Amino acid sequence: MKLSHKKYLKARDFILTNARMIERRLFDFYFENGTLEGVFYAVYAYRNTDGGFGHGMEPDTASPESQPLFSIMALETLDEVGYLTKEIILKDFMPYFESITTEKGGIPWMFQPKSEYPCEGHFKTVKEWAALSTTAPLLGILEKYKISIPWMQDAEEFVWNEIARIQEKHVFCHLCIPRRLQFLQYTQQKNKAEKALNDLKHWILADGILCKDTTDAGWGLYGKPHSLMYAPTPDSLLASIFSKETIEADLTALIHKQKEDGRWDTWYGISEGTKLEWAGMQTLWTLNVLKAYNRIEL
């Protein structure tokens, strides 16, 4: 089954009329031969003078302050579209990341906002300690671009210790696991990476991790993942653990989840505006997955 051209155009129109500029420029790049520069400028609109990224790069907070997670998101986006270079990483990103590195060698997930801006409650109580979900992808990107700097030594020790400590915790999180995979794919310690990858495969397939009820309103959202959240492309590191039948069924279910106005929706958002922003992000993600599996009539 494919998403019809008519429904694809509805999704396109939803993104172009409701999504943030960053999703609009990414859509332009992925689907309409847009420029890399357009994505770059949209990403850097969130950058602060300290080198970090803020200003609601994740719509759950409007705080302008730099956040480690948002800075990782910016780095990942530039990497995904092919704009990232060694020079950009070392000049524009690493000074900020090095400035927020903890004694354990890792960087925090988030900081509690110091300014009075609207945000979800969990941002006000966040623990400001080093996190696997931010340190691992940063290390993975440094290895991918063949960068070797002293910061990496303590950071890698921290990441391996965290992988051993956390184990199967958070395997239900479709945001954390790809960032762990980024590290496992590029680390030079291949034997340890292979074991960690096999562990992930085993844990993800355990009972209760995948949401198999496609009628569930939360299917495909945080805490209720399906196969495509771990294998968004056919060549994903985890794609081999899912049967062809599972992938096909989830692709069909995903297509059927499209709303009348063209969006794929979420329950996230602190306002009507941010709900649209989240829907824009979800819609772009879905279109990229369907495109990767050749399930759109373009």
**Which pLDDT value is given to residue 150?**
98
Element at 247 (helix H, strand E): helix 244-256
- Map out the domains of the chain as residue ranges: 5-292
139 near 163, Cβ under 8 Å? no
**Which pLDDT value is given to residue 122?**
81
**Which pLDDT value is given to residue 174?**
84
How big is the chain, counted in residues? Answer: 298
Class of domain 5-292: mainly alpha
Report which of 85, 75, 94 is spatially closest to residue 155, judged by C-alpha positions.
94
- Which pLDDT tens digits describe the chain residue by residue (298 residues)? 999 999 999 999 999 999 999 999 999 999 999 999 999 999 999 999 999 999 989 999 888 999 999 999 999 999 999 999 999 999 999 999 999 999 999 999 999 888 788 888 888 888 899 999 999 999 999 999 999 999 999 999 999 999 999 999 889 998 899 999 999 999 999 999 999 999 999 999 999 999 999 999 999 999 999 999 999 999 999 999 999 999 999 999 999 999 999 999 999 999 999 999 999 999 999 999 999 999 999 9
**Which pLDDT value is given to residue 197?**
97
In which residue are the tokens 């965290």 written?
Answer: 162
What is the pTM for the complete model shown? 0.96
Cross-strand partners of 119 = 61
Burial class (CB in 10 A: 0-12, 13-18, 19+), 144: middle
**Which pLDDT value is given to residue 124?**
81
- Gap between the Cα atoms of 51 and 55, Å rounded: 13
Give backbone dihedrals phi and psi of 53, rounded to 5 degrees, phi first: -115, 140
Count CB-CB contacts under 10 A for residue 205: 15
The conformation of residue 107, written as its DSSP 8-state character, comes to -
- Gap between the Cα atoms of 52 and 62, Å rounded: 15
Count CB-CB contacts under 10 A for residue 216: 11
**Which pLDDT value is given to residue 250?**
98
